[in-house]
Structure 1
C-alpha cells in the first residue's frame, strides 16, 4: 500500500479536495509507520494537512494508529505529554506538579521530546522522576515511584522520525499534536498544554473521537501543561466523556511572566525549590488542575496540602 490515494484526497484542489476521515487517517499513519511510504509522499501529506488545517478526525486517526504500533505499557491514572520546544519557558515547574500527583497516590506517565532545549530533560532528574528507556523500566519506575518519564525517541522511534521532519520541512506538522494525543499507557485522564490557543478545542474534539474519559487542555507556560497563577486560565477538554469548558480564576495578582525570576540567574540549581510565592503557586496551581482532571474535589486545597507536606518532609 502507498500514500497516493490519501495525498490525492487532500490535494485535488479547490472544490475537489477534502479532509481525511478517521479511518483514512488511521490507514495513512499505518502505511507510514510500516515503512511503505515514499519520503516525498510523507512530506506532501504533512504539508497539505498543515496548509488545510488538521481536523479532529485526522488527529484521532493518526494517534490511534501510532498507539497501536507501539509496545503496550502498564495502564496509569494520568497521562502527561511534554512536547513543547522550550524556547519561551523558564524552569520546568510542571515537573514538580507531576511528582506531587504521584505523591498523592496516582500513577503518572510523562512522555515527550523537547527539541534541542535541555531545560525539561535536565529538570526531570532534579524533580526526582526516573527516565524509562525500556518497557520493563516503565513498569519498575511506576511500581517504585508511581511516576516515570518516557522519551519519544525510545518508545516510538518511527514516530520520532516523523516529528523530526520539521528539521527537513522547515515547518511544524500535525505530528506535534498527534504526539500529545498518544496516551501510551491508556490512562483515563490526560493533561495537555498548548502554545497556540486554537489547538485546545482540536485536541478536545480528537479525544472525544478516541473515547477518552477526562482531559484538560490549557494554554500553558512555553506550551506545556503549566498554569500561570496570575491569570485566569481557560480550560477545554472532557469530563466523563462529555465536552467540558471552564475558566479557572487567577491565584495571585503578581504581574510576571513564567520565565521571570527574582533571582536574575537562577539556573537549574534553583529547581526544584521555589524561592517565592509566585513560583510555589505555579506548582500548586498546576497540580490542582491535574487533580481536577482526575476527579478530585476541592483540588486547590488538596494541592496546597500536598505541597505543605512536601516542604515539611524536606525540612525534616
Structure 2
C-alpha cells in the first residue's frame, strides 16, 4: 500500500472525501515514518488534514504508529510533553514543578523540541534535570534521577523530520499534536499544554481511544503545561479512562503576564506550586504540604 491511497481518501472532493479511520491513520503514519513515502504525498496528506481539521481517530492512529516506531522508556509514571515554540512565554517554571513531582516519588518523562527557542533546554540544569538523546539513555537517567528530558530529534529522528516540515510547508501540521500524544514511556498519566484551546478536547478524545487512564490538558503558559496562578483555568482530559473536565479558580490576585521578566518570587512560586498540584491531581495524588490551594 502507498500513501497515495490515504491522500485519495482525504482529497477526493466535496461529498466524496472523508477522514481516515484510526487504522488507516496508523498505516499512513507508518508509511511516512518509513522514509519510503513520496515527499509530495507526505506534504499533500498533511496539508489536506490541515484544511479539514484532524479527528481524534486520526491523531490516535498517528500517535500509536509513532510510539510503536521507537523503544519504550521504562519506569515512567507521568508523561510530560514540551513542544511549544516559546514566543509568548518567559522562564520555564514548569520544569521546577516537574522536579517537585519527581522528588515526591513519581518518575517524570519530559520530551520535546521547541523550535528555535532554547529557553526550555537552557533551563534544565537549574531545575536539576538531565537530558537524554535516546530512549535507552532516558531509561537509565530516569532510574537514577526520577526525571529526565528526552530530545525528540535524536530519540525519534523520523518523527522529528515530519515535524520540521513546517519550515517547508509554512504551516503547522497535525504532527505537532501527534508529538504531544507520543507518550514514549507508555505512561497511564499525562499532562499537556496547548496554545489553541480547541485542541484540549481533541487530545482528550484521542487519549481515550488509546486507552490512557488519566490526562490533564490546559491552555498553558506559551502552550506548555504551566498554570498561570492569576487566572481561572479550564482543564480537560480523562480520569479513570473516562472524559473529564474541571474549572480551577485563580490562585493569586496578580495578573501580570508569564512572559514578563521576574525573579523567583511569590508569583513564580505560585506558578510552580499550581502547576505541580495539577500534575499531582492527574496522578491521583494530594498536593505537596504547603502548596497553593
Normalising by structure 1, report the TM-score: 0.90
Deviates most, 240-249 or 71-80: 71-80
- For residues 56-67 of structure 1, the aligned pairs below 5 Å read 56-67=56-67
- For residues 78-117 of structure 1, the aligned pairs below 5 Å read 78-117=78-117
Does 2:291 align with 1:291?
A: no
CA separation in 1, counterparts of 2:283 and 2:247? Answer: 17
- For residues 212-291 of structure 1, the aligned pairs below 5 Å read 212-261=212-261, 263=262, 270=263, 274=264, 276-291=265-280
Does 2:193 align with 1:193?
A: yes
CA separation in 1, counterparts of 2:152 and 2:164? Answer: 11
CA separation in 2, counterparts of 1:257 and 1:207? Answer: 30
Paired residue for 1:266?
Answer: none
Pick closer, same or farther for the CA change 1:303–1:163 going to 2, 3 Å. farther
Pick closer, same or farther for the CA change 1:136–1:8 going to 2, 3 Å. closer
Q: CA deviation at 1:219?
A: 0.1
Unaligned runs of 5+ in 2: none
Unaligned runs of 5+ in 1: 264-269, 308-316
Q: CA deviation at 1:143?
A: 1.6
| Equivalent in 277, 281, 304 of residue 290 of structure 2 | 304
CA separation in 2, counterparts of 1:257 and 1:83? Answer: 20
CA separation in 1, counterparts of 2:202 and 2:163? Answer: 19
Q: CA deviation at 1:141?
A: 1.3
Runs of 4+ in 1 over 6 A off after TM superposition: none
Pick closer, same or farther for the CA change 1:180–1:303 going to 2, 3 Å. farther
Q: CA deviation at 1:303?
A: 5.9
Normalising by structure 2, report the TM-score: 0.97
Structure whose CA Rg is larger: 1
Q: CA deviation at 1:42?
A: 0.2
Q: CA deviation at 1:162?
A: 0.1
- Determine helix, strand or coil for the equivalent of 2:131: coil
CA separation in 1, counterparts of 2:97 and 2:91? Answer: 13
